[in-house]
Amino acid sequence: MKAKKLILVTSEAHPSHKPFLKVIDELSKELNIEKEIKMEDYAFLADYGEKDEFGTTFLPQLFLETDDGKITPILTQMPFNPQKLEPDPEEGKKQALEKIKNILSQ
């Protein structure tokens, strides 16, 4: 199985929009795979995304599409750096990369 594309569903108004953009940009370059950014695509999230305890989708979420057509969430919540009191895109990238490696090794 190979990685085909990274897909980010986001909203420019969301506070985590820029950290998620940083993660998808860096992963796309590092892994040399295509990226796609969908703005507020709740239908896509309803089909593939994680939901809260009430069954509601949320933004932003990052997905991996593999060459077999399967779409899997790889980062749905940006880690928070308690020392800096801000989102931690470096840790988010690390977590997403670990999930990608696990998915591709199956």
Half-sphere exposure of 78 (CA within 13 A, CB side): 25
Helix (H) or strand (E) holding 27: helix 17-31
pLDDT band at 11 (very low <50, low <70, confident <90, very high): very high
pLDDT band at 97 (very low <50, low <70, confident <90, very high): very high
Q: pLDDT tens for residues 58-71?
A: 999 999 999 999 99
Q: Mean pLDDT of all residues in the chain? A: 97
Task: Give the C-alpha distances (Å, rounded to integers) separating 39 from 20, 42, 74, 86.
Answer: 13, 9, 18, 23
Q: Which amino acid is at 67?
A: D
- CB neighbourhood size of 39 (10 A): 11
- Give the pLDDT score at 106: 84
Q: Which residue has the tokens 């969908």?
A: 38
What's the CATH number of domain 3-104, 3.40.30.10, 3.40.190.170, 2.60.130.10, 3.40.980.10?
3.40.30.10
